[in-house]
Structure 1
């Protein structure tokens, strides 16, 4: 039988769950702090911001069933007639980057911003025939088939979406008059996670609540995962878009969906969901820390082999564009096309890049060592 009903925020968990959550929280926070510090002193930090956001875009769309790999995206992202899977991933990355920029200049997460990002996300993609950038006007449901009888969850009615979204906004940003959200719907003996809670815990809660409101016909999952990193940036837990959790969520997709469904209905289990989310963040923070260490080592090793400033510039460009060409390098490194060709060939001769020498035109220069690090 489908779950129905959704309690508003804030939430509460049992004391036993609260202790588990707070225990793992400190570990994750320390790893994120270490990651932030490394990025501030890395020669490839700005380049990796772009490539990590591309990786997140791939993993998040894969959760929704898009069969495209990170290597596919790197290889095909500049195709003039991309297939729909590439369009969906590209849209996700555009929405991410647009959201980053809005948060950076001081826009808060709001229904207005969410609707604008939804429009970018759905441009020319699957499901885009439904009203993009607008909350749904009729009932929808979540389930394995197109029949509501098979639904695992029936979200809130269309006429209550604005009310639930306002509650979510107040939880994210605080009430405009500094009023605390009411807690009369919570158990008296629970541990309350309210709008003053740690940003990582709030990120877990806001993601699950957004997914449960399910305000759009399509794209809710992808947009909900974008909100995780935007919120972490808004709270200054991270200052650059370097931390994404979709890769870990995709690995345990069935559990992810099951625990999300667990926070719905009249007896929500928030403790299990938050604990799962924080553990996924912990594993992801470890992975990104390791990736950054290896990428930094590779970059510095390559720089010692570069003989000119143009070579050094071209080498670092490949950390944001691992399968590149001379015109991209000329533009990004601000060197002439002729110089770009020469230095890329020089980097290939040093075995820093691979190029198919049988190709006489439109050669691609591939940083396979970086790709191996990113895929590990």
Structure 2
């Protein structure tokens, strides 16, 4: 890491370790935040979008119809930011036919992200957002996948760094604080800040929490995914989101250069406004698009419910397809509690109205796909210029 890149000490100190490499130790949160007219407007817009999205989640007749696909989409995007190649269809197929997923597939990493987020949601009533919960989520995230040898569930005991492939401590773009004692001191102060209430707008607090976690980089691997998980968990824990319907990772994936650039400029230039503007824009735009997408999905459901009339088993299977648009005869049997011939008739009813179509072309091991649902869930709105 080149200390000359760090032109101010507003966000932290550049220090040379006893072993000769340079490192950055972030200052305690919060920094002084200047609420410029632009920042105030973005905060208001992001807050309004988040409140509307939270209200939508609170009054859904069956929240799982939207939560399940959004959680999976977030898992795919957050994992793809870190270099995985699995897409949403891969994850959905793995869910209904895990034997089809080859050993070592990137799908396993995405599956772990879903498991970690769901575990975090269950633990929020039992544990504070602090080190114990963070380590627990990391253990779930890294279990049995690439990087599993890098101490899952444990804070690092050695240095790590961020930079292009092949970087070293000397050539890295950024080197987080050394593990002992600086990293642990930073984490202690971070935990205190995470659990402060009523001191600032919660969206600003959330932005600072995420940035600081990335600056500390307490794990040898998986820091980015855990940091993005914390955004959702913090907003739900504070009551700002009723359900996990905000999938920021899709936005971040499309604006990766701006995301990493804004984080780095805090360290090098103390440029908090640029990061806050990026984060609030992400919440605003993602919130608005999630509202539109949710309404579109619900309209699609109403449309096909109308086409199916009083075919009760088909209506039940239709709702299952919004949770996972792939199905098999065996899965339909399980979900409906019926025999194979009855499941086949139910699938045929959904084929007749244009919801299901066979996806493999095979005679055996057939899989049906609800293409209208998958298309609606995968829809990605264009990103406005930052």
Tell me the TM-score normalized by structure 2.
Answer: 0.86
- 43 and 348 in structure 1: CA distance in 2 versus 1, 3 angstrom threshold: farther
Q: 2: distance between equivalents of 1:150 and 1:233?
A: 39
Task: Name segments (4+ residues, structure 1) moved above 6 Å.
Answer: none
Aligned counterpart, 2:194: 172
1:134 and 2:134 correspond: no
Q: Which residue of 2 aligns with 1:229?
A: 232
Q: Give matches, 1:279-358, under 5 Å.
A: 279-306=281-308, 307-356=310-359, 358=361
Superposition deviation, residue 350 in structure 1: 1.8
CA distance in 2, matches of 1:14, 1:286: 26
Contact 1:44 1:319 in 2 (8 A): no
Instruction: Answer yes or no: is 1:253 the counterpart of 2:256.
Output: yes
SS of 1:264 mapped into structure 2: helix
The answer on 1:79 being equivalent to 2:98 is yes
Paired residue total: 353
Give SS of 2:148's match.
coil
Q: Which runs of 5+ in 1 are unaligned?
A: 175-193
Whether contact under 8 Å (1:10, 1:195) holds in the other structure is: no
Secondary structure (helix, strand or coil) at the match of 2:241 reads coil
Q: Trace 1:1-376 onto structure 2 (pairs within 5 A).
A: 1=2, 4-16=24-36, 19-77=37-95, 78-80=97-99, 81-82=101-102, 83-103=104-124, 105-144=125-164, 145-159=166-180, 160-174=182-196, 196-264=199-267, 267-306=269-308, 307-356=310-359, 358-376=361-379
Provide Cα deviations, 1:257-285, integer angstroms capped at 9, x if missing partner: 111112225x5211110110110111111
Note the residue ranges of structure 2 that are not aligned, 5 or more in a row.
7-23, 380-386
1:146-184 per-position Cα deviation (integer Å, ceiling 9, x unaligned)? 31222111101101222211111111113xxxxxxxxxx
1:357 deviates by 8.8
Work out whether residues 304 and 353 of structure 2, in 8 Å CA contact, stay in contact via their aligned partners in 1.
Answer: no
Name the TM-score, length of structure 1 as normaliser.
0.89
Give the secondary-structure state (helix, strand or coil) at the position aligned to 1:374: helix
CA 1:56/1:356 → structure 2, altered by over 3 Å: closer, same or farther? closer
User: How far off its partner does 1:302 sit?
Assistant: 1.0
SS in 2 for 1:153: coil
Counterpart Cα distance in 1 of 2:356 and 2:337: 20
Structure 2 SS opposite 1:5: strand
Q: Given that residues 5 and 264 in structure 1 are in contact (C-alpha distance below 8 angstroms), is that contact kept between their aligned partners in structure 2?
A: no
Quick check: 357-366 or 268-277, which moved more?
A: 357-366
